[in-house]
Structure formats: structure tokens, C-alpha cells
């Protein structure tokens, strides 16, 4: 089985692995280029403490009890077409976010959620509010 770090490393998009405790367990080079953080700065951190994502209407997307976390807990995919994530230097990066949830190579029933971040053109940073997919919306 492919390890978490290898799986994220080979993603064509900026990729981040998040465990069941919402801690970052993998961070690829494209994520580093896109958001400015080196892996050693983010591994083990809560994803909400690093990503600081907001929706186009400035509502927080990342928090300890966010919609994505609910989806992850129920093993449901999550997708949002447009959001902004704060770069390490403070500027906002417009992105779309998708997920893939797979069993952790270590076993024990732990799942890893892979966030795939795809940059958006700057003009896409403030379109009409895009409702994220949640278990209730399915």
C-alpha cells in the first residue's frame, strides 16, 4: 500500500493529508509553492490553524467544527468551487477544494482525507457564494 506522504507527493494538485483528528499528516511541494509553508512548519498542526480558509462572502470555511470536518467524519466527499486560503505571507489565494477519503496505510480503521487544492484565477476570488457540499445536501 502507498504511504500517505507518497500519495500526497504524487498528486498533480497541491495536496494535503489530514487525519481523523484534523491534523496535517502530509504536505506536498505544490502545497508549499501555493501557500508558502514548508512541510516541517505544518505537519502535526490542526488544518484550521494553517489554512484559515474563507468562502467568497468571508464566512470561515476552516474551524474546529467546520462543514468539511462533518463530511470527513461521515466519510463523505467534500467540494467547494471557490474559496480563499491565506498564504503564509498573509495574502489570499483563490482556490477550489476537493477531497478524497481513503484508509490510512497504517490500518486501525483510521482514514486520511486528502485535500486537493486547485488555484483559481484572481477574478474568481469573489463570485457569488458557492454552497459547499455537505452530507445534508446529498
- DSSP structure string for 2-30: --HHHHHHT-SSEEEEE-TTSBEEEE-HH
pLDDT digit string, tens, across residues 53-93 = 999 999 988 877 777 777 777 777 788 888 999 999 999 99
Longest dimension (CA), the chain: 44
Burial (CB count <10 Å: 0-12, 13-18, 19+), residue 122: exposed
Q: Which of 41-50, 99-108, 110-119, 126-135 has the lowest mean pLDDT?
A: 126-135
Alpha carbon distance 94, 117 (integer Å): 10
* Nearest by Cα to 66 from 78, 75, 57, 81: 78
pLDDT score of 130 more than 50: no
Query: Percent of the chain at pLDDT above 90?
Result: 30
**Integer angstrom CA distances of residue 18 from 36, 42, 68, 89, 122:** 18, 11, 11, 22, 27
Domain annotation for the chain: domains and CATH numbers: 4-122 (3.30.450.20)
pLDDT digit string, tens, across residues 94-121 = 998 888 777 665 554 455 677 777 777 7
* Res. 42 pLDDT band, cuts 50 70 90: very high
Q: Which residue has the cell 500519495?
A: 7
Amino acid at each position: 500500500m502507498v504511504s500517505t506522504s507518497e500519495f500526497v507527493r504524487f498528486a498533480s494538485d497541491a495536496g494535503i493529508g489530514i487525519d481523523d483528528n484534523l491534523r496535517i499528516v502530509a504536505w506536498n511541494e505544490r502545497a508549499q509553492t501555493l501557500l508558502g509553508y514548508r512541510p516541517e512548519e505544518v505537519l502535526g498542526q490542526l488544518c484550521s490553524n494553517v489554512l484559515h480558509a474563507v468562502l467568497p462572502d468571508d464566512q470561515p470555511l476552516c474551524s474546529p467544527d467546520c462543514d468539511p470536518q462533518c463530511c470527513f467524519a461521515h466519510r463523505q466527499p467534500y467540494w467547494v468551487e471557490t474559496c480563499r486560503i491565506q498564504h503564509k505571507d498573509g495574502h489570499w489565494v483563490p482556490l477550489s477544494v476537493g477531497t478524497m477519503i481513503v484508509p490510512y496505510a497504517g490500518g486501525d480503521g483510521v482514514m486520511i482525507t486528502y485535500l486537493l487544492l486547485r488555484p483559481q484565477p484572481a477574478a474568481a476570488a469573489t463570485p457569488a457564494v458557492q454552497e459547499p457540499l455537505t452530507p445534508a445536501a446529498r
